[in-house]
Structure 1
Amino acid sequence: MTAIVLDDVHKAFGKTQALKGISGEIAAGRLTGLVGPDGAGKTTLIRMMAGLLKADSGALRVAGLDPVHDGMALAESVGYMPQRFGLYEDLTVQENLNLYAELRGLPRDDYDATFERLLDFTRLGPFTKRLAGRLSGGMKQKLGLACALITSPEVLLLDEPGVGVDPVSRQDLWRMVQALTGEGMAVIWATAYLEEAERCEDVLLLSEGQLRFRSEPGELTRRLQGRCFRLKGSEEKRALLRQVLARKDVRDGTIEGDRIRVVVDEGVDGDALASLGDVEEVAPRFEDAFIDLLGGGPGGHSPLADQMPDVPELKDPVSCQHLTRRFGEFVATDDVSFNVRQGEILGLLGPNGAGKSTTFKMLCGLLKPSSGEARVAGLDLRSAASDAKLKLGYMAQKFSLYGLLSVRQNLVFYAGVYGLRGEEKQNRIREMIDGLQLGPLLDSAPDQLSLGFKQRLALACALMHRPPILFLDEPTSGVDPITRREFWTHINGLVGKGVTVLVTTHFMDEAEYCDRVALMHRGRVIALDTPDNLKAQAGQGASMEQAFIHLIEEQDDA
């Protein structure tokens, strides 16, 4: 049974062609992934399915209805959870459900049974009196899903529901969605995370407004059979990655622990890489096929890092001892101790609410510890916070850009904040514009930028004063794999210059780029080791995500 029919759908915003002749069918009772890089047209298409945008030409039918002309009927047949879902953070979980039930016209006699079913389904029953703004990221997504399911729709539209959600909470979302498709509902899951797309039954892959692939994900993955390898060389892994990505016969390369994952051109075999180290063939992933289909990765050279000087030796870049932070009776960070060596990337991982951001803010001098010690560049943050802040760059989880200022004005403002003046100020701004290719966007407002360019601008602002230490709080949340690779090319280049990096992330493949990982749970560090050693604890061949879930569950069982 067909739930959605697309027939030569076009949509433009001014001169920008967002969708260029999209055709296809989406089946009922199946989970369909809507994937593509930033600006591909995913959100535009999903809003058209929800009846929020009208096609310029072509035809679209959702649950047998025209989204434009049958708007009232569509509201009962379609559930929609947008990227920034419309929860009211000053209302409780129960009050949000009451509001959505009223807005969607749910009969009063059905309230109790509907709420009981949704609260049981999402496991939010114990939290009905909690304010939505006080929920973790994963719980907010569950509440958003419950609100979208108020009227038991035939079609459920989810626009990037996994963004900012840890692997354990993401498992819960998958469990819920699979239960819904088992009941015959059509679920469309828009995502930039390709391990999510790989779990879908069907995939629509968009790029620059065009439909590039439509089928089950395994069909695309099989095209790369015999072209994916894992390489271990004698060189340091970041240097080896740059060497690999400089080759003309390589389509893509990423770091996996102490090895490099390589995708080669058609007709090239593993022997071509033998001069670089030990080579083993590995099974292709959907992400490998996605990058290959779009023309390959962005390469391994960072013009931004080229402009940065080598960092002088630092004896104690980042360290904390018995760091604790209490909010009333709640202990957000509990007796945390670790250090980060110069030129190292330390990943701070953990479920939503584990204490990562609280720890981050204390190390940045934005939050005072209740007890314990935090030092940056050898400076005690209790007595020399102002001096320490000048030694670090901070890229916040929610980009700290000023929406009323243009890109150029944001750069000028941050240069001034860091005390840059005159010719030096102008030179640094020019370095950031050139190194991150911001030139065509200087007069745009940050809110007009794609997520990838917002990320570039935020990184530029954090690096304006050439800090020897860089703090990155979920810097690539929601961006596509190509943009993510580009970002890590810059970070790897900076680390090569001696910059020390502390990063939080919910994207487990990103944790592979770290030299060590500190895994936090319920305010404590429960594991601190290399990615490969953490994966080994979850069994041979385990992924970083499997290691994450294994260690969290093991701690809960204990």
Structure 2
Amino acid sequence: MNIAAGHAATGAFVQLDDVTKRFGSGKPALDQVSGIIHGGEITGLVGPDGAGKTTLIRLMTGLMSPDSGKVDVLGFDTRERSADIQAAIGYMPQRFGLYEDLSVQENLELYADLRGLPKPDRAGIFDELLTFTDLKRFSARLSGKLSGGMKQKLGLACALLKKPRLLLLDEPGVGVDPISRRDLWKMVEVLIKEGVGVVWSTAYLDEAEACDRVLLLNEGRLLFSGRPQELTDRVKERVYRVTGVSGRRRSSLAKLLDEDGVVDGGIQGEAIRLVTTPGHPARFAASGDADVSATEPHFEDAFVDMLGGGPGGRSRLAEAQDPLVARQNGPVIEARGLVKRFGDFTAADNITFDIPGGEIFGLLGPNGAGKSTTFKMLCGLLKPTEGEGRVAGFDLRLDAAEARNRLGYMAQKFSLYGDLSVQQNLQFFAGVYGLTGSRKRERIELMTSIFDFGPRLSMSAKDLPLGLKQRLALACAVMHEPQALFLDEPTSGVDPITRREFWTHINGLVEKGVTVLVTTHFMEEAEYCDRISLIYRGRSIALGSPDELKASVVTDENPDPTMEDAFIALVQGSDVEVAR
């Protein structure tokens, strides 16, 4: 696919000189940012929610102009030559504007019209792009019926219609499963070999680690510019793996995170991973007789360290939760032979598992595999075609209202009422869950305090930054102290600090006896699960702890697989079995 033919393969494609951009009278969205983006490379734009990544990409497109400083793109000043820039670049916004009631082919035709692509050239270009993105066999499918990964591939195809010299991708991996993310990455690697310059904004720090260079932003300021390894090396010999922890890992992690000298930490299967301050000895009071060994740092370790560390191990939300005594014998969440058919399509086929109290259970799978369908049947949002689901002992078909009163639900996409204020959403959901009088007031005041909603109570929910939207959704889901918590990709798109804060709360609630069912595309989050069911083509193809799933795919070539390696190997292995 010779996209960059005739163009220089390398060089400064974007030059940023003291770029500042403000919206209103508050802090600038970008504050004197300078840097260079080269051709033939992938440059990662990395930073927490609200860091300025999307603003910087929009400045590069010429859709906005800086308040001060200068943005040069492909030799053109964005203030003076925006039309020339837009003719030479490809741009895929964070929420790509596909028309869901049009087919894949019809979307390509529409964007070809918008981009002024000559009609005689279209058949060849469409064929090339559909082959490149592996969408040719889906060309007649409505885009609304595509999986998340396929939608991103179609978005990429539309961005490549005019053979850009510079490709700007604003968080293309959000909400996309590991296999689709790897596919997207491989496509982009083909482009850079042809000299295209690629800017990839991301909340996935394993993606940032794979970039040629990164620009790390926080609160509009540039904290780091260079190769990812240069930043990772800053925490070398400060990262440890703690194994053989006695007792529950979650409570041990919470204690360790509050020790002096511990910057960050997380659960990694049966182990705990910790990042320390410089010179901090590898002795941890909470580890007892556990084995502590140095381990290789990741880019994310250095990223969190540069931002001042994680949120610590304390969860005020969990501290306010009354311990749940077993209210019943048997599991809290049960799936018994669940089947869901839509016409002649079987979305979920004989899904069976049970989850005891105080456990985190993960549903993983590629986009469109059937995990969200399974999830919704267990929430009472979808009626199963066959089988049964139970929550806290109540059959979801016969006692749906009783079951729903014992669960909290956080949807994949922000599902609160955008036109209502933060205060109104809290009041509404407290009422939905049956809270009244002083109890209702107490819980709303507690959520407001824990999640720091005070200054934003009158703000419309739709205007909140993504991280605060997720906090509000979690607050509404736990308002009534549910026995079971259903989390459908709860941290998709949020930054690592917010993600850690979120999991500190979840781990704390589980220690109080709450049962959690979670779906996620972050494989490091899957490590927090006690057990995982991997769903593919509507069926469960693997069930076990994270360490058991990783151990099942060990090979001579990969003796220490990651959770992502396990995910991909198990899915690919299932395809091989089906093909036999």
TM-score, normalised relative to structure 2: 0.95
2:52 maps to 1:41: yes
Q: State the partner residue of 1:86.
A: 97
CA shift at 1:16, angstroms? 2.9
Q: Conserved in 1, the CA contact under 8 Å of 2:489 and 2:519?
A: yes
Q: Conserved in 2, the CA contact under 8 Å of 1:257 and 1:513?
A: yes
C-alpha separation between the residues in 1 aligned to 2:14 and 2:414?
Answer: 36
Q: Write the letter of the residue equivalent to 1:4.
A: V
Per-residue CA deviations over 1:206-246 (Å, capped at 9, x if unaligned) read 01111101111001111111110100221210011011101
Q: Conserved in 1, the CA contact under 8 Å of 2:256 and 2:284?
A: no
Q: State the partner residue of 1:547.
A: 566
Q: Conserved in 2, the CA contact under 8 Å of 1:227 and 1:269?
A: no
Q: In the alignment, which of 378, 401, 412 is matched to residue 386 of structure 1? A: 401
Q: State the partner residue of 2:387.
A: 372
Q: State the partner residue of 1:255.
A: 267
Per-residue CA deviations over 1:351-388 (Å, capped at 9, x if unaligned) read 00010110111101111000011111101111111110
CA shift at 1:271, angstroms? 4.1
Q: Write the letter of the residue equivalent to 1:242.
A: A
Q: In the alignment, which of 514, 533, 542 is matched to residue 518 of structure 1? A: 533
Per-residue CA deviations over 1:405-459 (Å, capped at 9, x if unaligned) read 0000000011111121111111111111112222121111112111111000000
CA shift at 1:312, angstroms? 2.4
Per-residue CA deviations over 1:485-521 (Å, capped at 9, x if unaligned) read 0000000110011000000001100000111111000
Q: State the partner residue of 1:410.
A: 425
Q: Write the letter of the residue equivalent to 2:372.
A: S
Provide closer, same or farther for how the CA distance between residues 461 and 538 of structure 1 changes in structure 2, counting only shifts above 3 A. same
C-alpha separation between the residues in 1 aligned to 2:436 and 2:236?
Answer: 55
Q: State the partner residue of 1:70.
A: 81
Q: In the alignment, which of 99, 104, 108 is matched to residue 97 of structure 1? A: 108
Provide closer, same or farther for how the CA distance between residues 276 and 289 of structure 1 changes in structure 2, counting only shifts above 3 A. farther
CA shift at 1:71, angstroms? 2.3
Q: In the alignment, which of 14, 20, 30 is matched to residue 19 of structure 1? A: 30
Q: Conserved in 2, the CA contact under 8 Å of 1:307 and 1:435?
A: no
Q: Write the letter of the residue equivalent to 1:110.
A: D
Q: Conserved in 2, the CA contact under 8 Å of 1:415 and 1:461?
A: yes
Per-residue CA deviations over 1:24-83 (Å, capped at 9, x if unaligned) read 111000001000011110011011111122100000011112223222222221111011
Q: In the alignment, which of 291, 296, 305 is matched to residue 304 of structure 2? A: 291
Q: How many residues align?
A: 558
Q: In the alignment, which of 5, 27, 30 is matched to residue 15 of structure 2? A: 5
Structure 1 stretch displaced more, 105-114 or 66-75: 66-75
C-alpha separation between the residues in 2 aligned to 1:302 and 1:259?
Answer: 21
C-alpha separation between the residues in 2 aligned to 1:159 and 1:433?
Answer: 32
How does 1:279-318 map onto structure 2 within 5 Å?
Answer: 279-313=292-326, 314-315=328-329, 316-318=331-333
C-alpha separation between the residues in 2 aligned to 1:2 and 1:128?
Answer: 37
TM-score, normalised relative to structure 1: 0.99
Question: SS in structure 1 opposite 2:336?
Answer: strand
C-alpha separation between the residues in 1 aligned to 2:57 and 2:84?
Answer: 17
How does 1:54-453 map onto structure 2 within 5 Å?
Answer: 54-232=65-243, 233-271=245-283, 275=288, 277-313=290-326, 314-315=328-329, 316-453=331-468
Q: Conserved in 2, the CA contact under 8 Å of 1:226 and 1:269?
A: no
Question: SS in structure 1 opposite 2:22?
Answer: strand
Q: State the partner residue of 2:576.
A: 557
Q: CA RMSD in A?
A: 1.0
List gaps (5 residues or longer) in structure 1: none
Q: Write the letter of the residue equivalent to 1:8.
A: D
CA shift at 1:275, angstroms? 4.6
Q: Write the letter of the residue equivalent to 1:460.
A: A
Q: Write the letter of the residue equivalent to 1:7.
A: D
Q: State the partner residue of 1:454.
A: 469
How does 1:493-512 map onto structure 2 within 5 Å?
Answer: 493-512=508-527
C-alpha separation between the residues in 1 aligned to 2:86 and 2:129?
Answer: 18
Q: Write the letter of the residue equivalent to 1:44.
A: T
List gaps (5 residues or longer) in structure 2: 1-10
Q: In the alignment, which of 494, 500, 523 is matched to residue 485 of structure 1? A: 500
Question: SS in structure 1 opposite 2:76?
Answer: coil
Structure 1 stretch displaced more, 212-221 or 418-427: 418-427
Question: SS in structure 1 opposite 2:154?
Answer: helix
Query: Sequence identity of aligned pairs in percent?
Result: 59
C-alpha separation between the residues in 1 aligned to 2:143 and 2:510?
Answer: 39
C-alpha separation between the residues in 1 aligned to 2:35 and 2:338?
Answer: 55
Q: Write the letter of the residue equivalent to 2:14.
A: I
Question: SS in structure 2 opposite 1:382?
Answer: coil
Q: State the partner residue of 2:7.
A: none
Per-residue CA deviations over 1:141-186 (Å, capped at 9, x if unaligned) read 0000000001001100000000000011111101100000000000
